[in-house]
């Protein structure tokens, strides 16, 4: 009991004029066998408090433990529980036919009267027998007639000690649980610390590799663009000199492929600038009609060969944003729509205002874009699940570049794909919402 009641018990024992006061604790090997109607259970008994009259080292004595079956008087007190046991003289003790016991507990050569009061824990009402936690023992070395007030005092003390035992057991269980959870938390923190250290190492390595990649692309910028520009210039010069129709056709093919490579290099460099936050935005007032006319002229002939109609629905005269970013966004989305549109369908470009935002919508009719794919298509170099049905589809950089440009304008881009009844097509819509970058 950690000395909680030591002083009070000692004072009470002196007031009651006891020769000895003991507290015995039971530790059962199997609680289910703790039943007064059956045989004595297997249990260890500890003397957790041992007060003796005129003894100065009561609380310094070593705790004595023994087996319940080895002490007849302890067994008798256990069997009588939850009732108390009262012995007033040597004759009553002899009537128990107990002639020997553990001398450190019950010295039968000295004891002539004693009172044994069980410490009882009332359990679930369905369980008919309470749990006997221990015994409170008052001994006298002379005959004694135990008064009702003395017995009630002993019962009250037994209840207080029982409550203290239960509280200590509860606190011990809670502390054990806290210690267990603390150890688990510490282990988890140690693991997280190791993972965090490893993660930081991976991040630093990725940053180092990204820096090398950026430096590599930046250093090759001129090395990549200059040869292609020279090739394009050479092809144009050859077309001016050579008027042979067959040669012109081949030169047109070379010029188209050269243009694609130039666009690829430009996209790579632009994407790299966006990722490293090096692409500056220059807001300006953009009149849309000239921009849209140029885009229509560049796409209309190619779409005419595919039997695809391009419709532009512009509801604004101008917008405030970055011209280069806006031109590249619309161009890449129109290019993507033309690649994935079914023949004899229509591509629609709509530009309008909604509250304080600018909206650009590009719709086309083609294969489905599944919900999972609607996220993946904006990843660099992702080709799409239906790409095998498209000839000369590209590198998969276009939509990744579009998303980065839109985010750079503080905008968002959404995709929807809706089945068109009584057809094999889906209506695919790319919607861009972005604010005005400056006020008029």
Beta bridge partners of 362: 349, 430
**CB 320 within 8 Å of CB 286:** yes
**What is the band of 71 on the pLDDT scale with cuts at 50, 70, 90?**
very high
Return the percentage of the chain with pLDDT > 90, whole number.
36
Give pTM, 2 decimals. Answer: 0.48
Q: Is the pLDDT of residue 389 over 50?
A: no
Name the average pLDDT for the chain. Answer: 84
> Using one digit for the tens of pLDDT, what is the confidence trace for 75-108?
999 999 999 999 999 999 999 999 899 998 899 9
Distances (CA, A) of 56 to 1, 60, 382: 19, 9, 88
Q: Is the pLDDT of residue 440 over 50?
A: no
Find all residues with CB under 8 Å of 310, minimum gap 6, and list them.
296, 299, 300, 303, 334, 346, 347, 349
Please report the pLDDT score of residue 276 as a whole number: 67
> To 5 degrees, how large is the angle CA 163–CA 166–CA 170?
140
What are the structural domain ranges in the chain? Answer: 6-173, 221-275, 283-435
Fold type of domain 6-173:
Beta-Lactamase (3.30.450)
User: In the CATH hierarchy, which top-level class contains the domain 283-435?
Assistant: alpha beta
In 3D, which of 160, 132, 138 has the Cα closest to residue 150?
A: 138
Q: Is the pLDDT of residue 114 over 90?
A: yes
Q: Is the pLDDT of residue 390 over 60?
A: no
Q: Span 168-184, mean pLDDT?
A: 88
Q: Span 347-355, mean pLDDT?
A: 92
The span from the CA of 327 to the CA of 320, in Å, is 13
């Amino acid at each position: 009991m950690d000395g909680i009641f030591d002083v009070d018990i000692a004072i009470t024992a002196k007031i009651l004029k006891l020769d000895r006061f003991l507290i015995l604790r039971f530790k059962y090997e199997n609680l289910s066998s703790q039943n007064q109607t059956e045989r004595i259970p297997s249990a260890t008994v500890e003397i957790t408090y041992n007060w003796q009259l005129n003894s100065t080292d009561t609380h310094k004595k070593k705790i004595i433990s023994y087996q319940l079956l080895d002490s007849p008087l302890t067994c008798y007190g256990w069997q009588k529980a939850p009732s108390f046991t009262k012995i007033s003289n040597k004759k009553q003790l002899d009537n128990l036919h107990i002639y020997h016991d553990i001398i450190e507990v019950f010295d039968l050569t000295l004891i002539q009267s004693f009172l044994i009061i069980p410490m009882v824990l009332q359990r679930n009402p369905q369980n008919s027998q309470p749990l006997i936690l221990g015994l409170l023992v008052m001994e006298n070395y002379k005959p004694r007639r135990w008064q009702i007030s003395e017995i009630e005092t002993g019962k009250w003390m037994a209840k207080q000690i029982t409550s203290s035992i239960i509280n200590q057991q509860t606190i011990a269980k809670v502390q054990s649980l806290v210690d267990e959870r603390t150890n688990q938390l510490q282990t988890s923190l140690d693991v997280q610390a190791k993972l965090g250290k490893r993660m930081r190492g991976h991040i630093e390595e990725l940053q180092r590799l990204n820096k090398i990649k950026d430096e590599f692309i930046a250093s090759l910028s001129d090395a990549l663009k200059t040869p292609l520009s020279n090739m394009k210039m050479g092809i144009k010069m050859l077309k001016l000199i050579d008027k042979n129709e067959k040669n012109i056709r081949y030169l047109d093919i070379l010029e188209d492929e050269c243009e694609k490579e130039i666009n690829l290099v430009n996209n790579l460099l632009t994407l790299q600038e966006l990722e490293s936050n090096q692409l500056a935005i220059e807001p300006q007032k953009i009149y849309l009609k000239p921009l849209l006319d140029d885009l229509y002229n560049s796409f209309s002939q190619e779409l005419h060969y595919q039997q695809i109609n391009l419709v532009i629905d512009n509801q604004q005269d101008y917008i405030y944003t970055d011209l280069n970013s806006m031109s590249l966004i619309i161009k890449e989305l129109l290019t993507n729509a033309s690649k994935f549109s079914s023949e004899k369908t229509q591509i629609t470009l709509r530009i309008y205002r909604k509250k304080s935002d600018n909206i650009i919508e590009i719709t086309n009719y083609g294969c489905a874009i599944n919900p999972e794919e609607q996220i993946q298509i904006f990843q660099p170099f992702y080709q799409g699940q239906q790409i095998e049905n498209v000839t000369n589809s590209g590198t998969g950089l276009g939509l990744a570049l579009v998303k980065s440009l839109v985010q750079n304008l503080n905008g968002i881009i959404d995709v929807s794909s809706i089945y068109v009844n009584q057809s094999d097509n889906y209506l695919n819509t790319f919607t861009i919402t972005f604010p005005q970058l400056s006020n008029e």
